[in-house]
Amino acid sequence: MTRHSDFTSGGRAIARVTFGVVLAVSLVGCASSASPTAQSGTGSELSAQYPSAKLGGDGSFAKAVTSGLRVCTTNEAPSNWQEGGSGPWKGFDAEIASEAIARLGIKTVTYVIGPWDSMVPNLTSDRCDLLQTDIHWNPDRAKIINFTAPIFFYGDSVLLKKGNPLGLHTWADLKGHSAGCQLGSNLCDMLDARQKAANDLSEVKTYKTWDELITDLSNGRLDAGFVDATVSGYYVVTHPDAQVEMATGYIPQEDLSSWTRFGVQLGAHDLANAFSAVLDEMRVDGTTAGILQKFGIDQTSIQVFKGMQ
């Protein structure tokens, strides 16, 4: 899962899906068992429940409640996917968004599915109202779209041979060891920067595919994999027999700009504020943490720890 800083590509190794396929579903009865009862849907009622949302300015939220919400999404695990291209949406982004939508009383959602590089263009061309596939704030994107409050921290992790025979836990522990990353990722840039500054890794290995990195790690040809936490966590959860594990006690080295968000159209402040209020609530009441945990993403994803940049 590779991330870039430009606003037309978010950098995920994604399955290609037909551009612009549209699916419509009703969310009535689709919320998880932990979901609160959906609200009746008027702006005044929801403004009272979520006073920080400051509803009533531009009408974007009221429109979503009365006319439905159009959602842009990719179709890829572990963030958003449908089994066989139909049925309920799964994935950490999909489940977080579905819970927020249910709490806000939005009854009908239309999904616009496409590859990652279609997400922002679809939003700016008014093909959708909400970008459900998580996205990071940067100055270029902020010129053309608006963002919700942060949802979770999407940082780096260290993946090791099962049993951690080398006793590696921290960024400092990697000194004198080989570290690997997927070619083209920003994490490779971080390893290269470390080598340029300190030259204390025995080797930096780059891999074209995830499977190649896992194979070398499992066979002892690589000491540590430096990978996105969402990728490593999901892999460990879904491959319990794999000969790898995540480093315990590791503090992400990426800066706090790696907090991920949902996107909305530029100027849709009502919609951004409404989702932000609910997303904040979900982070505080444990809902977001519970969803992320199912996909192997731990508490470092929703907290700031000493040592983070």
* 122 and 165 share one domain: no
Contact of 252 with 78, CB cutoff 8 Å: no
283 shares a domain with 148: yes
Amino acid identity for residue 31 in this structure: A
Token pair for 181: 């990353």
Distance CA 19, CA 101 (A): 24
**Does residue 59 share a domain with residue 136?**
yes
For the segment 184-200, the average pLDDT, to the nearest whole number, is 91
Model confidence at 2, pLDDT cuts 50, 70, 90, reads very low
Residue at which a domain ends, from 224, 246, 268:
246
List, for residues 131-162, the tens digit of each pLDDT value.
998 888 888 889 999 999 999 887 889 999 99
282/164 same-domain check: no
Structural domain including 168 reads 156-246
pLDDT tens digit string along 261-305?
Answer: 999 999 999 999 999 999 999 999 999 999 998 988 876 677 655
Q: In this structure, are 185 and 200 located in the same domain? A: yes
Q: How far apart are CA 226 and CA 175, in angstroms?
A: 13
Q: How many CB atoms lie within 10 A of CB 63?
A: 15
The yes-or-no verdict on residue 259 having pLDDT over 60 is yes
pLDDT in tens, 80-119: 999 887 889 999 999 999 999 999 999 999 999 998 889 9
CA distance 276 to 290: 18
